[in-house]
Structure 1
Amino acid sequence: MKRRLRPTRQVDLGFLVSAPLRLVLAADTAAPPEAVHAALAKDTEGWTAWFDAVTTATGRTVGLRGGIRCEETVLADEPPRRFAYRADATNAPGLRALLEEWALSPTAVGGTRVRWTFAADGPPALRTFLLMSRPGLGLSFRSAVRSLDRRLAS
């Protein structure tokens, strides 16, 4: 069952710093920021090829492992340094608000530092669950960045 999340006027880019729960993860890739940004922002359907947690991606409707679905709105598309989106509707239980940002910066060796911020709100039990899930989310994120790196290299 799909339900609307917090009104969109309450979840803007400022939510990245004001969210009750923020998880920030980072990993490096050999690909340049322009290529990483294009994969994130222009090839949504391609996410299923490199991000194991994503099972379907059509436009800004994304399906995740476990049957979670989100309808998203892009809030920032600033090539080659940033891509951010908000979940407007989902079937994820308890989730009240969600905003994700992929910040990209060049590394000294010509690659990209990918920093993913997961900003969310929900009842205390959900926030605790997400905090406890941080190691698994980190593993999934780092694996996705490695897979994206291989995909961009081929």
Structure 2
Amino acid sequence: MPDSDSSTMYPLVSFRYSVIFDNDPIGFSEISGPNLEYEVIKYRDGLSKQYGEMKLPGRPKVSDVTLKKGIFPSDSKFFEWIMTNHNKLKRKDIAINLLDEEGKTKMVWTLLKAWPMKIEGPTFKGDSNEVALESLTLAYEELKIEAR
């Protein structure tokens, strides 16, 4: 049972977060992922008296992460990053911080050795007044999760 302190009594909300990119916080309107799962290795020994197979943990797999944000004039850092990867892969560590009500970091998902695999521009519609969003999809090698 959690103690009576309200900071541990209720779960954190998903709309208070920040993303650290090149040591600078960047505002994103939506982040999908990150996920970590393990492959399942099915194994049955020929001498086993057990009828079914055993399931063993295999290699870890991480999913791609997609970040969406509004487009601002003269803000092309993601496009420049993906274009530099055309010739030479430049990887970065990206931190996604989940914040409490006071703005303090409570959980961190760090995408290690991330690189941009896709960038999407906005959907253009003549009858809409929505904010123009760009979408950046990142591949990465390892996911580090820590509670603070």
Higher strand share: 2
Higher helix share: 1
Of the two structures, which has the highest relative contact order with CA contacts closer than 8 Å and spacing of 6 or more?
Answer: 1
Superposition TM-score, scaled by structure 1 size: 0.29
Rg bigger for which structure? 2
